Amino acid sequence: MLSESQPLGIDQCNCSAMRRASRQITRFYDGHLEPVRLRITQFLTLAALDEADGAAVNALAERLDIERTAMGKMVGFLERDGFVTIKPSPADGRVRIIELTDEGRRLHERAAPLWQDAQREFERLNGITNVATLRRSLTEIVVGDLPVGSPGD
């Protein structure tokens, strides 16, 4: 049992600070994307598919650093709503390829300006230099023997 005279020090916990900031930033972006009824994770999925002109489920999950099962679930909802198609790869039928539908492409085009507004407002609130430094610093974080991200992420 912890005594009241021994604080946990959770305010000094790096993980807690990162999780808190992440949740707040996610809510900020979700709020900007609300007019098109997307969450930031869905928007980034559409954006990644638009950039790559389709992708395998595993590659998309890796690109967005989302667990494969969570990615599969989200893509399933996007497919249900008519924004993506999922079909076997012509090269390997075991691999599922996700592609934007015309409706998904139009949704991405409607959402992109809202995302850009969020980017600009976030930079205005936090300073362009601070945001650029933060993004660069986050790619340089190391956990264990592996870097968390790379500059190409």
Check residues 83 and 88 and name the one with the higher pLDDT.
83
Six token digits for residue 49: 């598919």
Pairing relationship of beta strands 55-56 and 84-88 according to DSSP bridges: unpaired
Task: Give the pLDDT band of residue 35 (cuts 50, 70, 90).
Answer: very high
What is the C-alpha to C-alpha distance for residues 56 and 47, in angstroms, rounded to an integer? 14
The reported pLDDT for the residue numbered 92 is 84
What is the C-alpha to C-alpha distance for residues 48 and 54, in angstroms, rounded to an integer? 8
- Give yes or no for residue 1 having a pLDDT over 60: no
For 5-32, the pLDDT digits (tens) are 667 778 889 999 999 999 999 999 999 9
The reported pLDDT for the residue numbered 8 is 73
- Give yes or no for residue 151 having a pLDDT over 90: no
Q: What one-letter code names the amino acid at 29?
A: Y
Six token digits for residue 24: 């707040």
For 42-81, the pLDDT digits (tens) are 999 999 999 998 899 999 999 999 999 999 899 999 999 9
- Give yes or no for residue 104 having a pLDDT over 70: yes
Task: Give the pLDDT band of residue 144 (cuts 50, 70, 90).
Answer: confident
CA distances from residue 21 to 15, 18, 74, 127 in whole angstroms, order as listed: 10, 5, 23, 16
What is the mean predicted confidence (pLDDT) over 73-91?
93
